Amino acid sequence: MSVSIEDLRQRARRRLPRTVFDYVEGASDDGFTADANRRSFERYLFRARSLVDVSVIDHSVTLLGERLATPIILGPTGLAGLLAPRGEELAAKAAASRGAVFTLSTMSIGTIEEVAAASSAPLWFQLYVWKDRSVTQSLVERAKAAGYRALCLTVDVPVMGNREQDRRNGFTVPPRLHFSNVMDVLRHLGWVLRMTSSPRATFGNFVDHPALTQANAVGVARFTNSQFDPAVTWKDVEWLRSIWPGPLVLKGISCAEDARKAVSLGVEALVVSNHGGRQLDFLPAAIDVLPEVVDAVEGRSEVILDGGIRRGSDIVKAIALGARACMVGRPFLYGLAANGQAGVEQALDLLTAEVDRTLALLGRPRLSELDRSALRLDAPASL
Ligand code: FNR
């Protein structure tokens, strides 16, 4: 039985070949930032009020002008379709069933069109800027045609972070059997059998790309470093603004200067994120950067917190510090690997129940009315 995200993580670990589980867990270099994302939540303690009527709890939020049933956004995660056949479609269906936003990664296995056809969730499309701007433009046009509501540009991958475990494992797309992982794959025949019903095991949006069709398998870092443009700048944000009619979201903001610059270009929402500790190591925890960004934007743009959320109380803390909503990556991937669509729904339900219980015990029944007075910022826990 899974009663926490950690329980789902353990189930995912048992069900996936180690190379695939390691890809999900992966952090860059020493993993300092990935650890800090988790640990830093422990420094924010609550200030609870008592004798408040908490018989009705409201955890809905307003984001980009839309009222959402939940503050939880399923963040963009490349290759989610390796965890379960049609994994992105299943996660997007789970999002629809709980009224959550689903963000499709550029680097997903399911295509822009397949996921849009499968789910009625509010969909966002996450973009990486390719050296070949016609590829970038075509992704944007496909997302527009398929009805995605927001474009989420990830800004913290000018080059790929150093994921040493993936390098040791020889992790490729499609995953390949080699001497060192034969036993591991054999121990997970259930996964192998399930994946035989998968339409593909490569980046669905680029099935005809010569770099993919000419090789048996490609290393993720090698492929992305050869295709993503390290020369992306704010000029590209202006260009995207001109070709994308809907709301623009920048994901990977980690300081006040960039937040102000984004606001000056009319960016509707910022995601304070360090990519789950998978990019620049020794960035501070996302939750520690959040107040700086919230203060810099002064309400002119909406702020979303992403990184390290494993408990509903983490979400409550982020919203008390000024976030509108929170993105999760690994928590829903654990659910997907553990039990497909139902597993993602369970991850959402567990976090939501924890949000509700935390709000009740805090004496603050409305999530959207939280402010910093719900936290003991004057006396942070000394750890
Ligand atoms: C990611 N993330 C990510 N982000 C992005 O903008 N585009 C992408 O393609 C991916 N791919 C990806 C794959 C996997 C396996 C993981 C775990 C993460 C980062 C993701 O959107 C998010 O920032 C982090 O996952 C947040 O941290 P937590 O919730 O995993 O702690």
For residue 104, count CB atoms less than 10 angstroms from its CB and return exposed for 0-12, middle for 13-18, buried for 19 or more: buried
Give, for ligand 1, the residue of 40, 152, 275 to mutate: max count of ligand atoms closer than 8 Å to Cβ: 275
Q: Quick one: pLDDT at residue 381? A: 57
Give, for ligand 1, the residue of 115, 126, 278 to mutate: max count of ligand atoms closer than 8 Å to Cβ: 278
Cα 383 to ligand 1 centroid, rounded to whole Å? 27
Query: Ligand 1 pocket: which residues have CB below 6 Å?
Result: 23-24, 37, 75-78, 105, 107, 126, 154, 251, 273, 275-276, 278, 306-309, 328-331
Using the 8-state DSSP alphabet, how is residue 298 labeled?
Answer: T
Cα 274 to ligand 1 centroid, rounded to whole Å? 9
What is the position in ligand 1's atom list of the atom closest to the CA of 154?
A: 6
Q: Tell me the C-alpha distance between 343 and 335, whole Å.
A: 4
Cα 77 to ligand 1 centroid, rounded to whole Å? 5
Q: Tell me the C-alpha distance between 38 and 314, whole Å.
A: 9
Q: Does residue 174 have a cis peptide bond before it, meaning omega lies within 30 degrees of 0? A: yes
Cα 129 to ligand 1 centroid, rounded to whole Å? 17
Shortest CA distance to 176 belongs to which of 224, 8, 343, 184? 184
Nearest residue (by CA) to ligand 1, atom 18, is: 77
Helix (H, G, I), strand (E, B) or coil at 31: coil
Q: From the centroid of its chain, how far is CA 308?
A: 10
Structural tokens at position 317: 């803390």
Nearest residue (by CA) to ligand 1, atom 13, is: 77
Q: Is the ipTM of this complex over 0.95?
A: yes
Question: What is the DSSP pairing of strand 248-253 with strand 150-154?
Answer: parallel
Residue 126 contacts residue 154 (beta carbons within 8 Å): yes
Give residues with Cβ within 8 angstroms of 168, minimum separation 6. none
Nearest residue (by CA) to ligand 1, atom 9, is: 78
pTM for the whole thing?
A: 0.98
Q: From the centroid of its chain, how far is CA 181?
A: 28
Whether residue 59 lies in the annotated active site: no
Low-confidence ranges of the chain (pLDDT < 70): 379-383
**Number of other residues whose CB lies within 10 A of the CB of residue 383:** 7
Residue 253 contacts residue 274 (beta carbons within 8 Å): no
Q: Quick one: pLDDT at residue 177? A: 81
Question: What is the DSSP pairing of strand 123-127 with strand 150-154?
Answer: parallel
Active-site hit among 59, 178, 209, 275: 275
Cα 109 to ligand 1 centroid, rounded to whole Å? 15
Distances (CA, A) of 332 to 74, 311, 348, 375: 7, 12, 7, 27
Q: Tell me the C-alpha distance between 163 and 149, whole Å.
A: 32
**Residue 15 phi, psi dihedral angles, 5° rounding:** -85, -20
Apex CA 194: angle with CA 189 and CA 196, to 5°? 100
**Number of other residues whose CB lies within 10 A of the CB of residue 300:** 14
Which residues in 72-179 belong to E strands, given as ranges?
72-74, 101-104, 123-127, 150-154, 172-173
Structural tokens at position 321: 């510090």
How many residues can be counted in the chain? Answer: 383
